[in-house]
Amino acid sequence: MDDNVTFSTCRDATFAALASQLDYISSVNIATCFFGVEGLSTLPVSNSSQPADSPKASPSPVVAASPNQLILGVPLNETHHSYHLTLVPGVGIAVTVVAVLMLVVLVFLIRRKNRELEDSEDRDMRSSKVFPPPHSVKKFQDGQSLMFRKFSYKETKKATDNFNTAIGQGGFGTVYKAQFSDGLVVAVKRMNKVSEQGEDDFCREIELLARLHHRHLVALRGFCIEKRERFLMYEYMANGSLKDHLHAPNRNPLSWRTRIQIAIDVANALEYLHFYCDPPLCHRDIKSSNILLDENFVAKVADFGLAHASKDGSICFEPVNTDVRGTPGYMDPEYVITQELTEKSDVYSYGVLLLEMVTARRAIQDGKNLVEWSQTYLTSTPRIPELVDPRIKDAFDFDQLQTILSIVQWCTQPEGRARPSVKQILRLLYETSDPVHSGFLQTDEEGEFGGCAGRGRASKGKMHKNDAVFNSSDVRYLASSSSTSRSHGSRSFLLESGSPQSPPNMLSL
């Protein structure tokens, strides 16, 4: 008690001293006897190794070692070492497997990204083959210059306020108003998606607008190609599309005089495409949504994604076999059946457009085709005024209405050869809008006779006046749009022979 030595401490010291003097089996037997622990067993050994005079076991608690270690006969340090030998290799293998899997996934993602970038670059290269250089300067017929620029996606996004300035929507995509840092204001047409067909239309429109310049064609200001994005930048038309003014609610109706002038403007644009382009072009998608109006309501034709040139660059627009494309209600039924495109397909669409401007009804409305719907009124003279847009009431000229409806009937003949040319349409429009100049007929110094020769190109098949032999009863004197002035008096006039006769059921002019 003086040294504070307990019985338990003394017992532990005694067991340790005894165990250090004997072999392992004897130590277990001694522990069993000394501590009196029931259930302890030793590893099976031969009788020869067991001392004859081993004491019997007596119950006593175990303190120095755990029963499991004594039963298994494994020293403490060997158990701990075996555990480490199992854990370390397992962790190493797991880490290695995870690292290999991550490496495989990383390599796959990198290869896929590279493939996407290569595909995008290939598309951009294919597209850029037809794009004129951004710094090239194009000239208008009136001598003004226009920079044809390539815009970046970043500046386009900024100019459209993160594409929050939508001003129109169509099958191709959305149109936004954009104002760039240098003050340039344009209309940006953003394609919905880049497909093979969409890419072709995109390239075709840039190629055409880069070389087509006319006061009644929307001018191209630039383009943007970046990854899978495609944009076209046009001159901004403050009054939007003709479709909006005819069909959108809460819009002031266009006056009758404005509608006649728009009809003349569109006809001038078609005359340029059919007679003065080299080679001649068919627009193939004349409709109200593709007629845009500037701040003075001057009309300009837009969207040349479906335009098609004449066969082999011929001076005349010869029939071209092509896939049928266009807008239902405006499409030439003969073209739909034969798949043979001519400039008379544009003439049919123009006739539908004229009827749409008169009636303010859509090309297809209430499940009815506009041309077919109008026949009931056209065959009854007293009912003709009922065709006019009710919003303008009686504010129209009845004689002009009769002339316009006669042109509509002529343009929408089932057969293309029975339809007029754009030159003939223009003459009738000028006569009805300005009768003073209807008798002012003369030939231009470079005027040419014949239906296809009258294109104003001296380099291709020009005919001189003294070489022409014709019957005056077979020719019509038609106005040309070669002048940049909008006044009728300054226009030159060309001759066109072999014109088709008016259909017998036309309204009397």
Are 134 and 222 contacting, i.e. CB atoms less than 8 angstroms apart? Answer: yes
Contact present, 28 and 70 (Cβ < 8 Å): yes
CA distance 454 to 493: 10
d(CA 294, CA 297): 5
Measured distance CA(382)–CA(130) in Å, rounded? 55
Q: Please confirm whether the linkage preceding 132 is cis (ω < 30° from 0).
A: no
Strands 291-293 and 220-226: unpaired
Count of CB atoms within 10 A of residue 190's CB?
Answer: 18
Cβ distance 385 to 352 under 8 Å? Answer: no
Catalytic machinery residues: 285
Q: What angle do CA 449, 215, 300 make, to 5 degrees?
A: 110
On the 0-12 / 13-18 / 19+ scale of CB atoms within 10 A, 350 is buried
Which residue(s) pair with 241 in the sheet? 292
Q: CB 254: neighbour CB atoms within 10 A?
A: 22
Pick from 33, 225, 7, 54: which is nearest to 128 by CA? 225
Decide if 95 contacts 87 (C-beta within 8 A).
no
CB 248 within 8 A of CB 168: no
Q: Which helix (H) or strand (E) covers residue 225, if one does?
A: strand 220-226
